[in-house]
């Protein structure tokens, strides 16, 4: 029996496609360097974090497993006036991302569903004397199954 997992790259490509199809910013990247340029904001980066293969229900055979792909989306916004305006802009972008993903939970058929959504806000900074930049980290798990062929 040959066990065939879903490629993690297929999952991150599917996330990127969903976002490109629904988010108006052109600055969406997959597995690239994290943005350090406020003039590129709004910016979205798609990354993989981990992949797990838990055993599934007994009775299906040893080749039937779950696959859980951890995905990280970084979203950045900037504002030249204030941190609170930057926060407001970032939250609009985060809401668009979450709406896109929850509206297409199979990521175009790449997975069975997505789960375990968390949003964190790890970075508040001022670049130079004139740009507030904030980052949101959206974490979720893409869930599917693998089996033997």
Q: Tell me if residue 115 falls in helix, strand or coil.
A: strand
Domains of the chain with CATH codes: 3-148 (3.30.70.1700)
What is the per-residue pLDDT for 149?
Answer: 62
Are the C-beta atoms of residues 133 and 126 closer than 8 Å to each other?
A: yes
Cβ-in-10-Å burial (0-12, 13-18, 19+) of 35 comes to buried
CB atoms within 10 A of CB 18: 21
pTM over the 0.85 mark: yes
Q: How confident is the model at residue 65 (pLDDT cuts 50, 70, 90)?
A: confident
pLDDT tens-digit readout, 77-134? 999 999 999 999 999 999 999 999 999 999 999 999 999 999 999 999 999 888 999 9
Q: Calculate the alpha carbon distances from 97 to 3, 93, 94, 111, 140 in Å.
A: 33, 6, 5, 18, 12
């Amino acid at each position: 029996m040959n066990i065939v997992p879903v490629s993690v790259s297929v999952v991150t490509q599917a996330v990127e496609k969903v976002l490109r199809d629904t988010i108006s910013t052109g600055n969406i990247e997959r597995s690239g360097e994290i943005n350090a340029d406020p003039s590129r904001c709004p910016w979205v980066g798609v990354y993989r974090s981990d992949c797990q293969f838990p055993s599934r229900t007994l009775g299906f055979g040893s080749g039937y497993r779950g696959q859980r792909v951890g995905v990280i989306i970084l979203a950045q916004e900037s504002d030249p006036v204030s941190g609170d305006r930057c926060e407001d802009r970032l939250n609009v972008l985060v809401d668009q991302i979450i709406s896109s993903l929850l509206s297409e939970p199979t990521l175009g058929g790449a997975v069975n569903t997505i789960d375990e959504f968390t949003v964190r806000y790890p970075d508040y900074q001022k670049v130079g004397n004139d740009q507030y930049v904030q980052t949101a980290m959206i974490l979720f798990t893409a869930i599917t199954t693998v089996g033997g062929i």
